[in-house]
Structure 1
Amino acid sequence: MHYALVSDLLTKEAFDERVEKKAESLGGLVDEVTAAMLVVDELGRSHIKIGDIPSAQTSIVSFFGKILEIKPPREFTREGEPPGLVASVVLGDPTGTVTMSLWDDRAEATSELEVGSVIEVIAKPRPGKKEVTCLALRESNVTIVETKKPPKSEVMAAPLTAKILAASEIREIIRRDGTPSFVQEFIIGDASGTARLVCWAPDLFADVDEGASISIDGVQRKEDEGIVEYVVSDSAEIRILPDEIGALTRDAADVTEGQNPVVTGIVSSVSDVRTFTTRRGTESRVRNVSVQSSSKKSGVNVAIWGDAADALFLPGDPVQVINAAAKLNRYGELELSVGRGSAIRTINLPGKSVSLTGIIIPRPEGLSLDDGKEVWILLTNESPVPGTTVDVEGICRNGRIEVTNLVSNPIDADPLIHRLGSLL
């Protein structure tokens, strides 16, 4: 069984030879299984902890797990093929839990497994998921006393009431059978905290805006290692509530390690966006934003990942960081991480109407208006040519102008030459 872990490195004959030599070198003190494990370890394919499976960088992993739950085989149909079988087993150790799928002949092996026993597994992991597909397993004498709690899933008897704090765009998902499906993700909150909500029938939320308070019947509640997630299907019913539901909020100075609800503060500094290559070989982006507490005596760093890193943040912006986890960074400081299932929002302050004339200049933050006294970032769908003079009307707030009207003037080089001369 252990040869599957290193089959891409050497032949079966070469592996068996190494195992035999390893057993001989230890004077016969270890059996063949132990010798095989030692050879695998020497080749850099040693057993890992269950908690490390989602971030594993190999196509095959090996681990020990205590059986926490067994779901017996169920039959499914394959187009043009005989029916198949699939079963699943939840395994755990002190670092986490994982759901292992067993297909066809391996699914029948679940009848020989018992909850509470420990098995050794060779499996193919799903990148970023707490899921594996079983390639081989065997009973083990390894002792695992304590494990993380297995995931729980149940349909709620009472309606779920919460406030919509953030909503993502609708995404199309292609199922295994090739048919399309659509999903939309939300972050919801109430006085107890925040959670992620996944809806597989986005039309249900067509009339629901961010900030709305809602009641949902027929919600599935999932809990895994203390993290709660809700799932909504097309059988659910949604009702908009007349009274607003408040969400648990804390100041940037009060961030704690682990999951945080809604964290509020003021942006004090913003880094440039950095591009990097992920473990899967794809390109992504990250930006760091420092958020200061209301007392301005302390704050917290926020790492913003993926497409969210492209959003505009300026010093002085009041923000909310929603449903983000915090952990110690390499400097030993708490850092909030905004990625999937979390969000960061700029809070719009009251603005004032302005009517200005100035020159369009390009800046890293975006096209801006320079009227000779101040510079504002323009929020507009228009594309004025840099260097041209424009008349702008709009709402001004914290370094931005939300443009309601923009008129480009004929190009006159004299003001630009004068401006450039004053800078020399």
Structure 2
Amino acid sequence: MDEIIEIYNKLGGIISQEDFLKKVDEKVDQMSGLCDMRTAAMLVAHDLGVSETETSTQKIADITPESGNVRLIAKVISVFPAKEFNRNDGTVGRVANLIVADETGSVRLTLWDEKADIVKTGDIEIGQSFQISGYVKEGYSGVEVNIGNNGVLCESDEDVEASVASTNIEDVKNGMGDLNLKGKVLDVSDVRTFNRKDGTTGKVSNITIGDETGKIRVTLWDEKTELASELNQDDSLEIINAYARENNFNQQVEVQVGSRTLLKKIDEDISYSENFTPISDIIPGESYSIKGSVSGLGDLREFSRDDGTVNMVSNIYVSDDTGRIRVALWGDHALLVDELDIDTKVEIMDAFSKSGFNDEIELSAGNRTRIVVL
């Protein structure tokens, strides 16, 4: 109680002690047990506009490895599951991680034991704001704030504007985690369902985003696919806490979006310009974007796959100032052959090159390819 009265004494008499203690009790009840009396008193003092006291908070951008104990108010942007581990003394410990942000940046929180249990029970969700008190140390991925049983993690009513540093698309490398990106939506695929090995059904969708440094394919899994139906070409999108991995099909790095990733549309003008390759520069085994004029049209034909399903394919030729190349159109793309004429201008994005008949290089336009008829 002495700590509570000490905090009250710093308010300068702007409220009676009785009313202050009543508000503290209300705050504890409001936080459903996530908040102790001392933290509740600090939050009440903050609500009353007192900042130049022990209750004052720091901004994430000001946190350094030498900061020691810090207090901050930040919004949760990602939640990682709690894990158990064995200590040297034979006891079992628990640990969990959050990524939180304020308007100045983001930082990882490491929660230990009782505080990690709050994650395990599902009482922390993306988008919540928290009053945080912990100690700073250098972690495996940079500066992090550690919160043990004596630390503070208490929900706050304050509306926090979260800001995170973004990686340029050209800098995304295989294996990167805690990945934040901003990009313009270039393409959105339909949501597909699939069966997992354990018999459950999953959902997947793909989008392509670009910034001024390049473009990248993004894979959305399960509940995150719901956003795909809300996206349109040229929307601006922010992705927080994704990870990158190499695609086994073409060895290209892609961004993976799972349950711990935050996606949101943003009102920001992101510039992107497609990088078109001259036809004469195309070599086998790469993905290319080309633009030119249709200089040849083949027939549409259907064929049966090994699994008994029916697919379609057609062929066209495209020419630019440097050469001419055959393009195989697969699936729904194959129907374009009936809409095109000689000299029609087209842009074909992300078609895969290979050696075809007589070792001539050709492009294959499949479900990863986007075609624009001009």
Question: TM-score under structure 1 normalisation?
Answer: 0.41
* Larger RCO (alpha carbons 8 Å, 6+ apart): 2
